[in-house]
Amino acid sequence: MTPEQLKASILQYAIQGKLVEQRPEEGTAEELYQQIQKEKQKLIKEGKIKKEKPLAEITDEEVPFDIPESWKWVRLNEIVFNHGQKSPNNTFAYIDIGSIDNRHQRLNENENIVEAKCAPSRARKIIEHGDILYATVRPYLHNMCIIDRKFQREPIASTGFAVMACYIGVFNKYLFFYLLSPEFDKYANATENSKGVAYPAINDEKLYRAVVPLPPLKEQNRIVAKIEELLPYVDRYAKAYEKLERFNAKFPEDMKKSILQYAIQGKLVEQRPEEGTAEELYQQIQKEKQKLIREGAAYREKNICDINKENDLPDIPESWKWCRLGELTKLITKGSSPKWQGVNYTNAKQGILFITSENVGNECMLMKNEKYVDERFNDMHPSSILQKGDILTNIVGASIGRTAIYNLSVDNANINQAVCLIRLVDSKLKDYVLKYLQSPYAVKHLLGDASNGGRPNLSLTSVANLIIALPPLEEQYRIVAKIEELLPYCDKLLK
């Protein structure tokens, strides 16, 4: 149950007579109603309020729920009145919709002082201490409050409010809580009562026809006291609920990060001696890389740094090995901007697929927005022509570290300058390297190496120098399988 639902339940119980007990010695609402009518007639004779046309009797169809026998259903205009309207002739305190804190249903502290000559045309309604202001435009927003303080200048309210002064015998706070209840919300926002599309509003006739459950006055006071006793608990619940919501939102992502972190530290699956060592795998890769370099099929990465104790590396199993990403690759490169090369964007029939950072997601390619450039771009940048199985990672902007395997069956595709292409010597490593690049350790170091001259930017040298915890190949397979077994549970928690 949300805090809003809890508050609504309390209010609903209150207006149905279920929040406090009924006491015979407190009289009945019928007796109270007769007293209210006498006061009403007195105010009419004194000229303080106008006589209104009597409304129709309340029918059974209008009554939304049962109330205690000592209560009485009345129409809103039978228990409230207003002070009329005036055009401001002096500097005044103007109260409009923006003056209301509709989260807490309170009047803002700062007064909006306006000169009479600058008065908005809607500044007309006279208000007094204790009045209820109820915004009739978009009533679901609960722009409402009780006037509970004095003003430096005469207060005047916008005609966007209904001003309700309660007759003696009607506790303004009780009525206020009723106007805030789910039942009254349902009435005020019903399509037959609230007209308009962008700014639906309930007119005065519909508003004052609303039915109100009226308890005896002392019971009204006890109801309000009980609500005010409970609402602080709702506020406490709201804070706890918000913390829980934040935790629930964060927990699946934190769990995913923990799984990846455990994986790259050798804690997700067991080590098996029969699978050999990462040192043996590393030597095989170096031997193959040297062969490819001699054949012109791989590039020797420059500026690769040695790994030493200063790198502050976490513990890994003895059968693993720390190495640099650039030691495992044939190629680490990036594309360029068509604009810089004087190459035009075109359509699929006339050009080549052009991958940008928005196409590189977490683990998967995002091809909702496809771009194409003139095929001359490949002649200018042949080294960044994509091959199936290449790892792509974003190196510019807010999406740095987003990594996916290029798995599209599209020949001659190319990339822009915000995407880094990583082509491994042994393609069988790609799934493990992909998971590794998404681990908190890798993301932290990549982001830490990104220069920020207004927009984060990661150099190819930084990518090549990323330190990799390399397991034996068979263990890599088992690590990837275990991650893929566990991550769907994280995804389920996010739903």
Residue 164 lies in a domain: yes
Residue 245 lies in a domain: no
Instruction: Return all residues near 158 (Cβ < 8 A) that are at least 6 apart.
Output: 94, 95, 96, 97, 120, 122, 123, 124, 125
Res 450 pLDDT > 70: no
Q: Are residues 229 and 269 in the same domain?
A: no
Residue 259 lies in a domain: no
What is the residue type of 263? A
Residue 94: which of 172, 176, 154 has the closest Cα? 154
The last residue of one of the domains, among 239, 256, 280, is 239
Q: Are residues 321 and 225 in the same domain?
A: no
Q: Which residue has the tokens 């040695």?
A: 306
Residue 464 lies in a domain: yes
Q: Which residues of 47-73 are buried (b: 16+ CB within 10 A; e: fewer)?
A: eebeeeeeeeebeeeeeeeebbebbbe
Note down the domain range covering 425.
265-494
pLDDT at residue 309, as a whole number = 66
Q: pLDDT tens-digit profile of 28-75? A: 999 999 999 999 999 888 888 888 887 788 999 999 999 999 999 999
pLDDT at residue 453, as a whole number = 59
Q: pLDDT tens-digit profile of 235-275? A: 898 888 888 777 767 677 778 888 888 898 999 999 999 99
Q: Are residues 54 and 187 in the same domain?
A: yes
Q: pLDDT tens-digit profile of 116-168? A: 999 999 999 999 999 999 999 999 999 999 999 999 999 999 999 999 999 99
- Return the structure tokens found at 483: 């991650």
Within 46-86, residue ranges assigned H as helices are none
Residue 140: which of 104, 187, 84, 175 has the closest Cα? 187
CATH number, domain at 210? 3.90.220.20
- Return the structure tokens found at 244: 């829980």
Q: Are residues 24 and 154 in the same domain?
A: yes
Instruction: Return all residues near 90 (Cβ < 8 A) that are at least 6 apart.
Output: 116, 153, 154
CA distance 463 to 163: 67
Q: Are residues 94 and 189 in the same domain?
A: yes
Res 454 pLDDT > 70: no
Residue 38 lies in a domain: yes
Q: pLDDT tens-digit profile of 98-115? A: 999 998 999 998 899 999
Positions of E strands within 168-247: 194-195, 201-202, 211-214
Q: Which residue has the tokens 């009597």?
A: 54
Residue 256 lies in a domain: no
Q: Tell me if the pTM is above 0.75.
A: no
Res 493 pLDDT > 70: no
Residue 126 lies in a domain: yes
Residue 103: which of 233, 3, 218 has the closest Cα? 3
Residue 422: which of 440, 441, 446 has the closest Cα? 446
The per-type count for the chain, helices as H runs and strands as E runs, is 13, 26
